[in-house]
Structure 1
């Protein structure tokens, strides 16, 4: 019972307790008297006066229209009606106490859920390590992962269907916050026996005659635009084949000589048989990856994830 002694605020506007003008402190004092079977010892435990406890219990009995305690020279004992009432109030206090603790945990970002939009999730990549570390630090926060394009992610952020999204490249979005959290080198994935695999690296011009395999989802739209931009004004835009497949299937198609594809260097760590990764020597910059979120979303778990992303950057 002692764990309830500090919960002395009144409760909900629709509650019979409030309609009958029964404050929470009266119930807490009643539970104390029921535990100690003494107004004096209950008052000591609550750090208040015996007269205050006695007056509140009497007022509570009048409000309820029942006698909770038999008082006599030998002490205090619960009536049958009082015992039943105390049992039910204790159960209600357990529920209320659990609700308060749950709210406090969620307010600290230690429990709840995060809905995360990703372009892809590769074992061992920065994003995979980030989410693994976050889950290890906050195991009670459930992570819901949704894969899609940057455009999909922006729509879901605005509609509050995801809390945060990870996207390739930098983004200046007026109604959303964005921060670059890591960069990686661009690589071309080639069939293992491709004529260019004898080289240490390649140049964009050497890829002009290739068929590029580009996913519809994930970073596919951005990869498509990058290929077009690199060809512009220098040679004809290469053939670009849009495929509706996951990353692993894209690599398998590359291995089977359906075309070449583009990845960042961390993807090369997850080596796929019959695929070779080469850096593009004249690619002018590394590829940025950003975390994007709504400024109106102040979820504590989200703030913890953003902090961890910055620390691991």
Structure 2
């Protein structure tokens, strides 16, 4: 049976426009294209884990609007179990995304139904959590729910991954002991650690600072520079595979989903990191969030 990954988090419809550059304050730009693409960090990570070989269940909430139906149908089409994806009155979550000609993006998220993902919803999905090997959380749903999920996952003895995105404030101190792998990007690592991350050295310093807070291990993702992995004994730099980037949307989510799928399949940490890196590298060569996520066969072909 494939490995079991449970993702607790957000489902958004991404409203994506491409423009020559990101607009300045008060400025109106003429865009080049517009599309609606299923996204949300939780759903992206679920799709990544599923395409990369894991048996996946999603825990989250969508709205009673057309976007909500599309989001559920998109996950089901990937073979993802959606018994714990609830439908609540109102709008689904949306992300407004502008991508420029240099493949950089700016994103505004409206939580919508994601705000209804409560500890009670998690308690009702406890059987799903019990069946997991790896449980993944992010920060696009209420903090109280994330904390509840981390604590329950630790009680169940699961491998616990937190992707602290978006990070606008320090994490509650008690969370760190419940996390096996904390996976921030540069800006998130800076917010959480208080260390400005602008080099490999400062990434290592931030990771070391976060380790001291009690987290199991830290992976600071650094985009084209790869990542920094801290395990308490050392910090190791993993360079990124070299590709030509088209759109970096969901690259971090692809890494997290691939890393989790590999861990759940029994790969060691180094193997899982490198597997996730290849998946993320392939994703940036394509446009969009979920449409850009590669399959297990594509990752295997890249590495063979």
TM-score range, shorter chain: under 0.3
* Bigger radius of gyration among the two: 1
What is the TM-score with the length of structure 2 in the denominator?
0.22
